[in-house]
């Protein structure tokens, strides 16, 4: 058996309500499919999960994301966790096992049940602690529920808790943002992610923006929010290890790091992506179609258009540049069989001259300024 470092992603495509900014493959009002979906997903875990364990050994990380995994009723979540535990070895802390949770969907018993089944990391989509702002962006929970969810999680034994926060939201002020960050810090999570609002096509916010009805903060205000967060989190012991991610020492998300480090992962469930042996695959997005494919023993996966060598190099560079470790020359050369400098020497020089990049000989990585203006820096790594 070829022992490999690899990860497993499990997708739960259900949400109670669609947040106004969200373009993830998740659906509200499809609860009627939950039972059948979990049955099909458990079957896929059993068949495909086992086959990769036989080939590569146990995965280093398992991540149940969505959607809202915690929107599943406790009995279905338990069924899913049992299926995962039957295929992968999840005892102890060796495997990082994360479940994404919406604070409006959990109670102490639900959290304790997940902990008892080997989950050792929770990622709470909090976004804000301000009830009015939460309502304005379509979240189903309150600030108090977010606080309680984190407190309950700790009480039932979780020490590795992550909190997501958003900035640049409609009607959001600097004072609200600061209060939210302070509230998050007071909960002492192991990990904090920060996301600026992106207006994605097809979302309620994109439509409102087209109609001129979205009251967004100015670019200067959004930039000030970003500057504040990227200052205050490290000052409070949260080391930045990726553009949007900060963690106490030893608590960087191993699963997410594996995406940026070009490691393989197996995606299970509708709309899940896989990256296996250099090829990217995408599963059927529609829930009923996914269930039918699994039931009839067919593969739910389609191979994505294979990337050209140039696109593969760009992707490798973009992903690695997101992390503070940056692009390793050695890893680039191992993967592509040519020297990093033969491809990117001029881009590196231009970005170093602007103060966006540091070159330490082994790796090149973005400076704080480079992370702030990441898109400009990434453009330099386009090959055409
Ligand atoms: S809960 Fe998460 S996945 Fe669901 S709609 Fe909101 S942001 Fe999207």
Where are the domains positioned within the chain? 7-260, 309-379
pLDDT at 356 over 80: yes
Pocket lining: 13 vs ligand 1, CB cutoff 6 Å: no
Task: Say if residue 376's pLDDT is above 90.
Answer: no
* Residue 28: strand, helix, or coil: strand
Averaged pLDDT of the chain: 96
Q: Does ligand 1 come within 6 angstroms of the Cβ of 18?
A: yes
> With b meaning 16 or more CB within 10 Å and e meaning fewer, what string describes 326-345?
bbbbeebeeeeeeebeebbe
Strands of the chain, DSSP E: 7-12, 14-15, 27-28, 61-66, 96-101, 121-127, 161-167, 191-196, 239-242, 245-247, 265-268, 273-276, 279-283, 301-303, 327-328, 357-359, 363-366
Ligand 1 mean position to 9 CA, how many Å?
17
Q: Is 68 in the pocket of ligand 1 (CB under 6 A)?
A: yes
Distance CA 5, CA 1 (A): 13
CA of residue 180 to ligand 1 center, whole Å: 19
Cβ–ligand 1 distance for 69 under 6 Å, the answer no
Best mutation site among 11, 13, 16, 18 for ligand 1 pocket (most ligand atoms within 8 Å of CB): 18
Which CATH architecture fits 309-379?
Orthogonal Bundle (1.10)
* DSSP-based helix, strand, coil % in the chain, nearest 5: 45, 20, 35
Q: From the CA of 20, how far away is ligand 1's center (Å)? A: 9
Q: Is the CB of 26 under 6 A from ligand 1?
A: yes
CATH of 7-260, one of 3.30.70.260, 3.40.50.970, 3.20.20.70, 1.10.300.10: 3.20.20.70
- 193 CB within 6 A, ligand 1: no
CB of 19 closer than 6 angstroms to any ligand 1 atom: yes
What is the tens place of the pLDDT at every residue in 249-302?
Answer: 999 999 999 999 999 999 999 999 999 988 999 999 999 999 999 999 999 998
Question: Could you identify the atom of ligand 1 that is nearest to the CA of residue 67?
Answer: 3
pLDDT, tens digit, 9 for 90 and up, residues 163-214:
999 999 999 999 999 999 999 999 999 999 999 999 999 999 999 999 999 9
């Amino acid at each position: 058996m070829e022992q490999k470092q690899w990860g497993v992603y499990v997708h739960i495509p259900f949400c109670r309500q669609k947040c106004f900014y969200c373009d993830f493959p998740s659906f509200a009002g499809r609860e009627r499919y939950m039972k059948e979906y979990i049955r099909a997903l458990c079957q896929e875990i059993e068949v495909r999960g086992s086959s990769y364990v036989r080939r590569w050994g146990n995965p280093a990380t398992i991540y149940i994301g969505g959607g809202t995994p915690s929107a599943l009723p406790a009995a279905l979540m338990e069924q899913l966790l049992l299926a995962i535990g039957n295929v992968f070895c999840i005892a102890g802390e060796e495997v990082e096992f994360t479940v994404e949770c919406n604070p409006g969907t959990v109670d102490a018993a639900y959290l304790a049940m997940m902990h008892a089944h080997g989950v050792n990391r929770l990622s709470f989509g909090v976004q804000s602690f301000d009830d009015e702002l939460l309502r304005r962006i379509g979240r189903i929970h309150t600030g108090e529920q977010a606080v309680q969810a984190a407190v309950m999680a700790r009480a039932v034994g979780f020490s590795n808790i992550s909190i997501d926060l958003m900035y640049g939201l409609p009607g959001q002020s600097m004072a609200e943002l600061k209060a939210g960050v302070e509230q998050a810090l007071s909960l002492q999570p192991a990990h904090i992610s920060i996301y600026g609002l992106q207006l994605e096509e097809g979302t309620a916010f994109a439509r409102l923006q087209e109609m001129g009805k979205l009251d967004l903060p100015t670019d200067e205000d959004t930039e000030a929010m970003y500057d504040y967060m990227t200052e205050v989190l490290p000052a409070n012991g949260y080391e930045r290890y990726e553009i949007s991610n900060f963690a106490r020492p030893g608590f960087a998300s191993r699963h997410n790091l594996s995406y940026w480090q070009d490691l393989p992962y197996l995606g299970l469930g509708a709309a899940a992506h896989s990256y296996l042996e250099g090829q990217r695959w995408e599963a059927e997005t529609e829930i009923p179609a996914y269930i039918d494919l699994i039931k009839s023993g067919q593969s739910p996966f389609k191979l994505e258009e294979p990337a050209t060598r140039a696109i593969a190099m760009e992707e490798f560079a973009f992903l690695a540049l997101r992390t503070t470790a940056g692009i390793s020359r050695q890893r680039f050369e191992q993967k592509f069989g040519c020297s990093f400098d033969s491809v990117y020497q001029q881009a590196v020089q231009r970005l170093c001259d602007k103060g966006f990049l540091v070159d330490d000989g082994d790796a090149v990585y973005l400076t704080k300024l480079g992370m702030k203006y990441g898109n400009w820096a990434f453009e330099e790594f386009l090959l055409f």
